[in-house]
Amino acid sequence: MVTLQDAAASCACLKARKAARAVTRAYDRALRPSGLRVTQLNILGAAGVAGGAPLGKLASILGMERTTLTRNLQLIEREGLIKVVNVDGRTRNVMLTEAGNKRLTQALPLWENAQNELRRKLGARDWTAVQGALTTLARIAL
């Protein structure tokens, strides 16, 4: 039978969440001058790439629950960075506004600096390994 200590030491969920919080803090620090958090930057980027995607599709692209995405959209919508457009009674599309595109463009170099700093700290080989492991973990955990 597994002990509580063994479970805590080997829990993939605990380790992934701890790493996610630490990485999020690193990106958020780097993005602070832009006024965006990394979660907001990811939403703006996905909305820009998807070009007016329905809310459900955008949630899927980001790997988020629809309700979580809806909560996260509220602040950036109030700031005028995105626009949520009712297509019909059931479908709402998320569109990047001109202001959102401008903020995203300003924030990308800050994001790139954070990305490069983490890559430098890990080293090229470990960076590639972590990228592959995270992609695989997200795929198989579904």
**Residue 36: what pLDDT?**
96
The answer to whether 92 and 84 are in contact (CB under 8 A) is: yes
Strand-pairing partners, residue 14, are none
- Split at pLDDT 50, 70, 90, the class of 53 is confident
For 115-129, the pLDDT digits (tens) are 999 999 999 999 999
pTM as predicted: 0.88
- The per-residue pLDDT for 51 is 86
The pair of three-digit structure tokens given for residue 48, joined into one six-digit string: 């820009």
How many angstroms separate the CA atoms of 58 and 56, rounded? Answer: 5
Give the per-residue pLDDT at 120.
97
Give 102's contacts (C-beta < 8 A, 6+ positions apart): none
Per-residue pLDDT for 19 more than 90? yes
What's the average model confidence in pLDDT over 11-24?
94
Q: What is the pLDDT of residues 57-104, one digit of tens each?
A: 999 999 999 999 999 999 999 999 999 998 887 888 999 999 999 999
